[in-house]
Amino acid sequence: MDILNNLVSQINGILWSYILIILLIGAGLIFTIRTNFVQIRYFTEMFRLITDSVGTKTEGHSISSFQAFCVSTASRVGVGNIAGIAIAIVTGGPGAIFWMWIIALLGAATGFIESTLAQIYKVPRQDGKGGFLGGPAYYIRNALHAPHTAIFFAILISITYGLIFNSVQANTISLSLQTAFGFDKTITGIVIGLISALMVFGGMSRIAKITEYMVPIMAGIYILVALGICIYNFAKLPLIFTIIFKSAWGMDQVIGGGLGAAIMTGIKRGLFSNEAGMGSVPNAAATADAEHPAKQGLIQAFGVFVDTLFICSASAFIILITGDYSTVGLTGVQLVQHDLSLYFGNAALSAMAIIVFLFAFTSIIGNYYYGEINIKHLSDNPVYLNLFRILVILMVFFGSIAKLSLVWNLADLFMAFMAITNIIAILRLSKQACITLNDYTKQKKAGIKTPVFDASILPKQDGIVWWKNNK
């Protein structure tokens, strides 16, 4: 087992340190240029679209734009936004945060492209209750006519998110509750498994409705806590920004070799956190009932900013304002708990356990959501979906009581293959998304408040199903 773990770890090192970072950053730069900096030009429009879609009523399996946004945010906003940032600062120094911001800025353009493509190539559900399915497996099969690659991707994401990642999230929940309250990990695993069962057997519409409420609450509480600490220490903020920028570009880091560590750590943390280009978020984006594909692309692009610029930055400022990251000998969640305890006392331990539970549990149901979409791509037979649901619940229980170093390495490997497959696909199809954005822009300039999409404007019609039949 140790030999396999070491082998997988070495392969991950090669993929993530060279191939994927070059591919993801290169794609981000290409998409930023092709869309004429959509992530900057349309920032206020992104915010408006999200706020306008809050509370939209849906029927059957239909999912609103805001619900799809919340599902994708539930999946990518996990304990990594807390523990991962602490590790990034301890490993790469404060400068890692600057590079994390840069990769988020580039990633937002990638997120727009992949989510817009997911909308263009979405297909209606076949149960007669409304709603859609879509994502990389669908546009790889239908637009690029590569069914074997589509199956490969669908299997990868179902295993990675539905099973492996969910076991990791469950493990984090059980550990945090045991540390804070002394809860038995086995009992915790049973309880989390039962709650998860209620979610996954309730289907995608129930998950969308739950995350619509849970995600704003959990993210809002955490950001408000960090904001309160920042306001309390307002006089320190200029120094904190100076430290971040100086550590990212300073001569001391160049001479001492720390610049490379800051850049690599920040880039990896940003990519892992916001998932732009991984091919996960488009699965949620495709399920939204939107009037125009670019609308959902813009909403999902804003999710990159929510994840990295807001929530990850909240963790960063909690740690950097305290300034003890290099002296206390702690990292991960423990470092954040320690720093919060300086402001809130021992109550911080219990509060962090609750926050970790919210972050991790919403990730579990968001991850399952991606799996269901791709299981349906592989087969419409309900037996396979129910089998997948049972496996998800079992993996949640297993994760609550297991040690997961090998599981983490396998997840990283699967994610690497997912990202390579998806980036190549969206690079080939990006022209379709850019034309769609131009159409949205043209309609907005003409004074149309809610642009409506006509698929006939696209030069390539292969694989477009819903928009052809429902102009």
The CA-based angle 386-388-393, given to 5 degrees, is 95
The Cα–Cα gap between 51 and 298 comes to 13
Picking from 426, 430, 433, the residue whose alpha carbon sits closest to that of residue 296 is 433
As a whole number, mean pLDDT of residues 236-244 equals: 89
Which region, left, alpha or beta, applies to residue 47 given φ > 0 means left and ψ of -120 to 50 means alpha? alpha
How would you label 377-396 residue by residue, b for 16+ Cβ within 10 Å and e otherwise? bbeeeeeebeebbebbbebb
What are the residues facing 288 on neighbouring strands?
A: 63
Model confidence pLDDT, tens digit, residues 75-121 = 777 767 777 788 788 877 888 888 888 888 999 999 999 999 999 99
pLDDT of residue 59: 62
Asked whether 289 and 65 are in contact (CB, 8 A), the reply is: yes
Any idea what DSSP says for residue 124? E
Task: With CA atoms as reference, report the closest residue to 418 among 104, 24, 29, 85.
Answer: 24
Of all residues in the chain, what percent are helix, strand and coil, respectively (each to 5)?
80, 0, 20
Angle at 328 (CA atoms; ends 327, 331), nearest 5 degrees: 110
Q: What does the DSSP 8-state code read for residue 132?
A: E
What's the pLDDT at 204?
64
SS3 42: coil
In this prediction, residue 253 carries a pLDDT of 45
- CATH number for position 405: 1.20.1740
**Whole-angstrom distance, CA of residue 253 vs CA of residue 50:** 40
Q: What distances in angstroms separate CA 195 from CA 82, 186, 191, 352, 380, one per listed residue? A: 24, 14, 6, 20, 25
Residue 36 is classified by DSSP as T
CB 86 within 8 A of CB 328: no
Q: Which residues contact 389 (CB under 8 A, 6 or more apart)?
A: 197, 200, 201, 368
CB atoms within 10 A of CB 320: 23
Number of domains in the chain: 1
Which residues contact residue 259 at a Cβ distance below 8 angstroms, ignoring those fewer than 6 apart? 95, 248, 249, 250, 253
Give the pLDDT confidence score for residue 427 in this predicted structure. Answer: 96
Tell me the longest C-alpha to C-alpha distance in the chain.
64
**The predicted structure's pLDDT at residue 40:** 93
From 157-171, 202-216, 325-339, 372-386, the region with the lowest mean pLDDT:
202-216
CA torsion, ordered 31, 270, 308, 92, to nearest 10 deg: -140
Confidence of residue 251 (pLDDT cuts 50, 70, 90): very low
Q: Which domain range does residue 174 map to?
A: 2-469
Evaluated on CA atoms 450, 129, 279, 67, the torsion sign reads positive
Of the pLDDT bands very low, low, confident and very high (cuts 50, 70, 90), residue 152 is: very high
Q: Which residues pair with 124 in a beta bridge?
A: 132
Burial class (CB in 10 A: 0-12, 13-18, 19+), 106: buried
Q: What is the mean pLDDT of the chain?
A: 83
Each residue of 332-380: pLDDT tens digit?
777 888 888 888 887 777 887 888 888 888 888 888 888 888 888 888 8
CA proximity to 408, closest of 166, 223, 181: 166
Among 325, 306, 302, 341, smallest CA distance to 95 is for 325
pLDDT winner (highest mean) among 33-47, 276-290, 338-352: 33-47
Lowest mean pLDDT among 58-72, 287-301, 431-445: 58-72
CA distance 291 to 178: 46
Q: Encode pLDDT of 306-341 as tens digits.
A: 888 888 888 889 889 888 887 777 777 778 888 888
- Burial of residue 47 (number of CB atoms within 10 Å: 0-12, 13-18, 19+): middle
